[in-house]
Amino acid sequence: TLSLHDALPIYIRDASPTFSADTTSLTFAVAGLLSFAPATANVSDVVSALKVGDAARMSKYFDNLVEISLNDRSHSYSRSQAELVIKDFFTSNDVTDFEVEYKSNVSDGEYCMGKLTTRHGEFRTSFSLKNRGDRKLIQEISFEGVDE
């Protein structure tokens, strides 16, 4: 009978791990670089930020340019400007919840639509995550007041 040791290819069973200062440093350097890579978003990440009105958390997923529509007024903003616009909107409306009504995967990313509840009314809210290389980022977000 063959033992597990005999069944392993020779290059695996005879390999002994060796560590040197150079490979250890390289490992830590690569790990450090990866920690600064921009975050990739999925619908649940954005929804959790919307539920509590957290503009800073949401901005981690913004693309370099973000199209923001607020009640029929639309404008493109840089990532940092977009964070300030969203923060101001969340602060002045005092977000209390977000409920997903529709979401789907589309050919170039994901789409979500729902109802943002605030102390000053409800907003039909939609956003799209577009594929940018190996990441999904928010490129568009819209808030439209709901007449009751």
What three-state secondary structure class fits 109? Answer: strand
- Give ∠ CA 90-101-66 in degrees, rounded to 5: 45
Element (H, E) at 12: helix 10-13
User: Which pLDDT does position 102 carry in this prediction?
Assistant: 96
pLDDT at site 111: 94
Tokens of 35: 């920690």
Q: What integer is the mean pLDDT of 92-111?
A: 93
What's the confidence (pLDDT) of residue 148? 58
Question: DSSP letters of 69-99?
Answer: EETTEEEEEEHHHHHHHHHHHHHHHTEEEEE
Q: Evaluate if residue 5 carries a pLDDT over 50.
A: no
pLDDT band at 13 (very low <50, low <70, confident <90, very high): very low
Q: Which pLDDT tens digit goes with each residue over 40-98?
A: 768 899 999 999 999 999 999 999 999 999 998 999 999 999 999 999 999 999 999 99
Confidence at residue 19, expressed as pLDDT on a 0 to 100 scale: 45
Q: What is the mean pLDDT of residues 118-140?
A: 93
CA–CA distances in Å: residue 110 to residues 6, 16, 35, 91, 144: 48, 45, 24, 27, 20
Q: What is the pLDDT of residue 107?
A: 85
Four-residue CA torsion sign, 72, 64, 118, 109 = positive
